[in-house]
Structure 1
Amino acid sequence: MIVPPPNTTKEGLYFIDSDFTNVISYLVGYSEPNPLKATKFLCTSYDDSLCKAAARIDYVVHLSYCSKSTDIDCIAGLFAIKPDGTRVEGVFIHGMPDVPTNEFQGESTVGLPSSGVDGLWQIPGVIHGGGSDTYAVVSQLSSYGQTKVPGATLTNRFELMDLSAGIFPVQVLSGTFTPRKAVIQVNADGSNSVAIPGGVTNNLHTGKLCVVTSVTECAVRQRFPMDYTFGLSMRISQKISGWLHGRIQEPVISFAGNEFGTNLTIQARPVTVPIVLAWADRIDQPQVMQSWSSQAHPGRVWTAEASGATSISLLQALLPFANDSSVAEPSAWIFRTLRNGELSGSPSCILNSKTLAGFVSTNSTVYSAGPPTFNPVTESLDYKLVAPHLTSKGEVFKGVYTLGIRSDVARCIYKFTNAPIKATISVTDEAGQSSVAVESMSEHDGWIYLSASGFTFSSPTVHVKLIGTPIPEVSTAPVVTPTPTPTPTPTASSTPSLTPTTIEKPIVKKTTITCIKGKTVKKVTANSPKCPKGYKKK
C-alpha cells in the first residue's frame, strides 16, 4: 500500500506496469454502441435475454488449462530451462478460483470463448525466491465493440483486441479469501459501469497481496530465479497478427497459424523492472497530469501506463521529483499484443501482415510499445525508453532491449532482396552520445533478433539499422525505336558494302535531393526531383 508523505500538499504519480491480474472474466452488453452513454449489463451468454437486446457486446476471458488435446482458448503448457539447458515441464495443479466468478458460455461460431480461470502450476525443482516451485499463469483475451442490431443474433465474429499473459512465482497461503467479481456499479451522475471491487488483489510494489485467489487460497507473488528461462504455450481460436511487447529478455517465439487459430509458444528470461513514485505540487506537474482533475487532491496517487508517448513525457518530466531513482524492482515475465489503434503510423508492411510481424521487450519503466519508428534521415528504426538512473538501493540501473522482427517484414520495410541481412544496434543518451552496451544480432527460423544490454538511463534511444541488398529499381528510361534503313538497290556496276548503324538508348541519370518541412525530412529521387508542396530543398 502506498502511504503519502505526512501533511503533504502534493499528488503522486505511480509508474508501474499495468496489472491485468486485477481483471477477471466477464461478458457485458450495452444498450447502445456508445459505451459512455449506454446502460451496461452482465450476461451469461451472447444470446441470453440481456445480450440479445444489446447494441454492443464486449468480453474479457481468462484462459483455463487445456485438459484435452481438442481444447482451444486455453493454456497448453508451462516449462523452465535450467542454466545447463535441461528442460523441466510444468505440472498443472488446479484453477484459481475453482469456477469463474462471472461465468458465461462461449459460442465458437462467433469467436466468443467461454469464461475461464487462471491456474497454479508446479515446475519441479525450479525454486523461486519464496522457497517453493509453485507458479501461477495468468492470461487474458479481450474484445471490445462488437456491435449489432438490438434483438438480433450476432452474425459476425468477435475480433481479438488484446492478448496478455504472464508467469508469476508464488507462495500459496491458506485461509478465507474473496475472489474478485465484476458488478454493475451506479455512478454519482446516474450512469453505470463495470467495476471489479473488493477481493484480494496483487500489488507489484509491495508484493504482499495475491496474484490469484480462491475462497481458500491466496497466491502471493515472489521473485524469479533469474538464471532460468521460462516458457508458456497456448492455443488461441483467433488469428494473432501485428506486434507483441513485454517484460521479458532474449525471447524466442514459436508461432503457427492453423484452421483452428494460433498455436503460440514464447520462451524468455525474466527481467527486473524499476517502479517509480513521484510526488509533485500541482504547479510543478506536467500539463497532461493537471488535466486529469480540475483541482489538486493532496495525497492522491495516480497510476500511469507502462508504455506510450504520454507516459514517456510524464516520466521524463517527473524523474527529478523521484530523485531519478526507483522505489522497487520486482521481477517480471509478461507479454502483450498491441491493439489496432496502437499500430497507427506503422509501416504498411506491418499493418498488412496477416500473422505476427514482430515484438519488442525491455526492462525500462516506460517505453514505446509499438514497432520502432523508421527514421528516414539515418535509415534506422528508433525506439524510446525511459527509466530512473538509480535503483532503490542507489545502484546504477542497467537496461536490456530486444527487437525481433520477421525476416520478410524487415525486407519489406527496407525493400531488400532475400540475400542475407546484416544489422547494427546502438544506444544513445539524451545528449546523443553513445551509451556503453553489449549488442548482438542473429537470423534464424524466419526471424531477425537484435538485442542490446548494459546501457544506462534516464532516457536513451535505441537505433537499429539493417543492411541488405536493395531490390533493383525498374528502369524508367524511354525505349527508342530505331528508324528502318531503306534497302539499297544494287546496280550492275557494283555491290555496295553496308555499314550497320548502332542507335544508343539515352542515359537518364536520376538524382536525389533532401526536402525539409519543420522537423520532417524527406528524400526524393527522380530524373528531375522536386520537393513536395510545403517542403523546401535543403
Structure 2
Amino acid sequence: MKRNRKFSVLLIAVALISPALAYGADSTVPEQWLTLPSPGAGYIGYEANETAFANTEASTWINFTSDNGKVDGKVTKVAICNTGAEDGCNYSVYSYYRAILPICSGSADINCISEIFALDASGKKLSVSSATVFPTNNPQAFAGNRALNVPRGSGAALVSIPEAPHAGGDNYLVKTTLSAGRTGDQTTFQTPRLGASISAVKIIDGDFFDLATETNTTKYDQVGRIQVGTTQTKPIDAKPSKLCVAVSTTQCALPYSLPKEISFGFSLRLNTNLSGWLHGRMKNAVIEYKTTDGITNLSVTANPIAVPVIDVWSKSDDLSDAHVASYLSQFWGGEATHYTAEGVIGGTPITEAEKTRSGMKNISFKHINASFSKSSMDNFLLWLPVAKDKAAAMPTQWRLGTMTDNGSGQVRECLDKEKALAGVVTTNSTMYLDGPPVFSDGTLDYKVASTHYEADGTTVFKGTYELIMSSSVARCIYKFTSAPISATVSITSENGEANTATTLISEKNGWLKLGAYGFTFSSPTVKVKLTQEKAVPIATATVPTKKSSITCVKGKTSKKVTAINPKCPTGYKKK
C-alpha cells in the first residue's frame, strides 16, 4: 500500500529551555519535571516525555507555498489561516490544521465537547463547573471552514471539580484536538486524527512564551516541517514555559499530579467517523461510541496512570558506533544548538555533516521522541542503558489519540470491513508501537518497553496493558461466531521467559476488554489469544413411530393387519 508523504513538527526552541530554577514550579511534582539543559558542545541527549506533547498542542491552521508548486520546492510563504480566505491560504502544496475543540454551544453544535465529567472510586458522579476557555488570548485560534471540513480551533476547556482536589487546587484542563493535513493533489483534508488530554492544573500569572507557528520562511528547510515560535516580545529571562500544558504570554496552566482514584472523562460530538484504533495513557477505560446520520458521539472515561520519563545526556564520544550509525539516516527532531566560529546559534536544523561523530563535536542536540514507530522503539532501546534503566520522573497522564498505523493483514482487513472504531490500546509503558496488536500464529502481539526502575532507582516499575476491542472486529479476525469468547493474556520477556502478570478478561456492550497488570520491563511482548469452543452438533433422537391395526374382510374371510400405515391386501376391504 502506498503511503502519503509524512510531515513532521520540528521543535527548535532554544529560548524555551527551562532554567535550573523554575518560575513557580515545584521540583517535587513529577509533572513539573525540568528537562535537563545541555552541558555544552559535543553532547547528545534524548528525552521521552509524552507530557511535553501538551505544550505543543495549540490551535493553528497554516498553508505552505513553494517556488515550484511542489512539496520538494523551496518554501516561499507560510500563511496563518482563519477561514481559508486569507492571503496565502489558497491551497497549492501543503496545508495543515490542529483544532482544539470548544465546548458545544448547543445541541446542534458539532466538533465540540458536549460534556466533561468525573467519578469517584465508588462511581459517584462529581460536580463539574461550567467550562471557560484557556488561554483566552490564543494568537492563532481560527474560525474554520465547514465547506473545507475544517473545524473551529479554540483554546482548551478549563473546569473546576471541587470534590477532586489536587496539590495545586481543583482546576482541570481538558484539551481535545482534531488535526489533519492536505498535500500534493489531494482534493480535501484527510480524515482527521483525534487527540485528547486531561490535566490537573493551577493557573499562574507572569511573563511566558506562548506558542505560535513561525511564518519566517528562512526558518524552513522544507515544506511541511512546521516550526514553532512565540508572540512574546518582552526581553524576559527564560521561564519554564515548556512546563505549561497551555500558555499565553501572561498566564500558564502549570500541571500537577492527577488523583489516580478519580475517573475522568468527556463526550465529543463530531461530524467525522472515527474508524481505526486509538491508543491511550489511562487505566480502566470505558468507551461508548455511536454514529447516527453522520454524527459521531464518543464518550471516554478512565483513571490516570503514571508513565516513566527518560531524560539523559551523553558525550558524543561515549556513544557506540552502532548508536551513531543508527541516527545517520534519520530526521533529527528536537532542540539544537550550533557552536560555530561566529558564535552560538540556535533555531536551525541539523545538517547531514553534523550527524557524524566529528560533526557532533560542534553541536549539542537533544532528541525529543515524538512518535511511537519501529525506529522510535529502536532508538529508545539504544538510550535505555545510557539512562541506566531508570526513570527521570513518574508524571501522571490521561491521554488518548488516533493511531497512525491501522495494522496489516487480517487486522487491517477486518477494520476496513467493519468501518468503525476498532478498539483502544492503553499502557503505562514509556515506549510502545503505534499500531494495533499484530496478529501472528493465532495471537495478538503488542510490544512495549520502559525502564526497569522508577525515578528513585530502587522501586521496580510495574506495567499495565489494556486492550478494548470491538467484539465484531475480534470475531472477524478470528472468524468466530456470535457465541461467547474466552481469552488468555501472557507476557513474554525480551529473553523469551514468561513474565508474571495479573490478567482480566470481560465482554460487555459490544466491547471485549483484556488487561494485564504488574509485569516488569525492559521490553516485554504482550500476547493475547482468543478462543471459542466449537459448536457440538446436537444428536437428534429417533422416536419410534407407533403402529396401528385394522381389520380387512373378503366375503366371509376376515384378516387383521398391523403396521405403521396399515393397508388391506388386494381384494380385501377395510371393515
Q: TM-score range by the shorter chain?
A: 0.7 to 0.9
Aligned to 2:424: 359
Higher relative contact order, structure no. (Cα contacts within 8 Å, ≥ 6 residues apart): 2
Aligned to 1:529: none
Partner amino acid for 1:195? Q
Partner SS state of residue 487, structure 2: strand
Matched, 1:134 2:171: yes
Looking at structure 2, the residues matched to 434 and 190 of structure 1 have their Cα atoms a distance apart, in angstroms, of 48
Q: TM-score, normalised by structure 1?
A: 0.79
Partner SS state of residue 393, structure 2: coil
CA contact (8 A) 1:416 1:471 kept: no
Aligned to 2:445: 382
Tell me which of 437, 448, 451 is aligned to 1:372. Answer: 437
**What does 1:223-238 align with in structure 2 at a 5 Å threshold?**
223-238=257-272
Aligned-residue offset at 1:411 = 0.6
Looking at structure 2, the residues matched to 53 and 415 of structure 1 have their Cα atoms a distance apart, in angstroms, of 45
What is the CA RMSD across the aligned residues, in angstroms?
Answer: 2.6
Aligned to 2:216: 185
**What does 1:278-293 align with in structure 2 at a 5 Å threshold?**
278-280=312-314, 281=316, 283-284=319-320, 285=323, 287-291=325-329, 292=332, 293=355
The structure with the largest alpha-carbon Rg is 2
Partner SS state of residue 232, structure 1: strand
Aligned to 2:229: 197
CA contact (8 A) 1:104 1:115 kept: yes
Partner amino acid for 1:19? F
Aligned-residue offset at 1:61 = 0.9
CA contact (8 A) 1:241 1:357 kept: yes
Partner SS state of residue 317, structure 1: helix
Matched, 1:60 2:98: yes
Matched, 1:121 2:155: no
Aligned-residue offset at 1:177 = 4.3
Looking at structure 1, the residues matched to 41 and 517 of structure 2 have their Cα atoms a distance apart, in angstroms, of 39
Aligned-residue offset at 1:352 = 3.6
Aligned to 2:190: 159
Aligned-residue offset at 1:416 = 0.8
Q: TM-score, normalised by structure 2?
A: 0.74
Q: Sequence identity of aligned pairs in percent?
A: 33
Partner amino acid for 2:436? P
Partner amino acid for 1:16? N
Distance 1:441 1:35, change over 3 A: farther
- Encode CA deviations 1:219-261: one digit per residue, 9 max, x unaligned: 1000011111111211122111100001111211011112243
CA contact (8 A) 1:347 1:413 kept: no
Gap regions ≥5 residues in structure 2: 1-17, 19-34, 233-239, 333-354, 537-575
More off after superposition, 286-295 vs 310-319: 286-295
**What does 1:438-477 align with in structure 2 at a 5 Å threshold?**
438-469=502-533
Aligned to 1:144: 181
Partner SS state of residue 250, structure 1: strand
**What does 1:57-456 align with in structure 2 at a 5 Å threshold?**
57-130=95-168, 132-145=169-182, 157-177=188-208, 179-187=210-218, 194-198=226-230, 209-280=243-314, 281=316, 283-284=319-320, 285=323, 287-291=325-329, 292=332, 293-294=355-356, 295-296=359-360, 299-339=364-404, 341=405, 343-344=407-408, 346-376=411-441, 379-394=442-457, 395-456=459-520
More off after superposition, 16-25 vs 440-449: 16-25
More off after superposition, 21-30 vs 283-292: 283-292
Aligned to 1:481: none
Partner amino acid for 2:473? V
Aligned-residue offset at 1:8 = 7.3
Looking at structure 2, the residues matched to 401 and 191 of structure 1 have their Cα atoms a distance apart, in angstroms, of 38
Partner SS state of residue 290, structure 2: strand
Tell me which of 71, 79, 86 is aligned to 1:41. Answer: 79
CA contact (8 A) 1:56 1:148 kept: no
- Encode CA deviations 1:193-242: one digit per residue, 9 max, x unaligned: 64321369xxxxx8983211245432100001111111121112211110
CA contact (8 A) 1:247 1:362 kept: yes
CA contact (8 A) 2:290 2:297 kept: yes
Partner amino acid for 2:61? L
- Encode CA deviations 1:344-374: one digit per residue, 9 max, x unaligned: 5543102443110011000001001211011
Distance 1:452 1:260, change over 3 A: same
Aligned-residue offset at 1:49 = 4.4
Aligned to 2:22: none
Aligned to 2:61: 27
Partner SS state of residue 245, structure 2: strand
CA contact (8 A) 2:447 2:523 kept: yes
Aligned to 1:528: none
- Encode CA deviations 1:56-96: one digit per residue, 9 max, x unaligned: 43221111111222211112222111112211142234111
Looking at structure 2, the residues matched to 22 and 290 of structure 1 have their Cα atoms a distance apart, in angstroms, of 26
Aligned to 2:559: none
Q: How many residues align?
A: 457
Looking at structure 1, the residues matched to 221 and 494 of structure 2 have their Cα atoms a distance apart, in angstroms, of 48
Looking at structure 2, the residues matched to 191 and 462 of structure 1 have their Cα atoms a distance apart, in angstroms, of 39
Looking at structure 2, the residues matched to 9 and 370 of structure 1 have their Cα atoms a distance apart, in angstroms, of 35
CA contact (8 A) 1:33 1:145 kept: no
- Encode CA deviations 1:95-138: one digit per residue, 9 max, x unaligned: 112254124332223311122111211112201132x1100111
Looking at structure 1, the residues matched to 470 and 91 of structure 2 have their Cα atoms a distance apart, in angstroms, of 43
